[in-house]
Amino acid sequence: MTSSTKTPFTTLPAHRDAVLRVMPMPADANIHGDVFGGWIMSQVDIAGSIPAARRAAGRVATVAVNAFQFKEPVFVGDLLSFYTSIIKTGTTSITVSVEVYAERQRLDAEVVKVTEATLTYVATDEARRSRPLPTL
């Protein structure tokens, strides 16, 4: 990650609502204050499951992490906003794009895209077997 690849914003995406907003705490970071990638991945999975469960009208399970890119570090005290969109559906599956932005409250407020990911979920029944998505 270099400063030449950093994409600073002044505000969060106005045309979308965040499905999840969370602030990492010291327990989520290493001794230098950088938040663990695994913690971010778990939050991305939670955020992605929200529109997937809504579309499936019930239980879903994560079946694939198709792509995951850490664009910038995340620090303790950043306010993370997770934006999602369903990009594909199949008979039983839902593929979701997740973008994560950090609001950094340093001397000047700054918004930075920190993570992008694509995950696939499958709708499951009470026995945790795949089931068809309901028709829209």
pLDDT of residue 3: 47
Q: Are 47 and 21 contacting, i.e. CB atoms less than 8 angstroms apart? A: no
For domain 20-123, the CATH architecture is Roll (3.10)
Written as six digits, the tokens of 20 are 């999840």
Across the range 79-96, mean pLDDT stands at: 97
CA distance 134 to 55: 8
Could you tell me whether strands 93-105 and 109-123 are parallel, antiparallel, or unpaired per DSSP bridges? antiparallel
Q: Mean pLDDT, to the nearest integer, of 80-85? A: 96
* Beta-strand runs (E) in 1-136: 8-9, 20-22, 60-70, 79-89, 93-105, 109-123
Q: Tell me phi and psi for residue 46, to 5 degrees.
A: -60, -50
**Mean of pLDDT values over 61-72:** 98
Tens digits of residue pLDDT in 91-131 = 999 999 999 999 997 667 789 999 999 999 999 999 999 99
- Averaged over 4-25, what is the pLDDT? 79
- According to the model, what pLDDT value does residue 9 have? 63
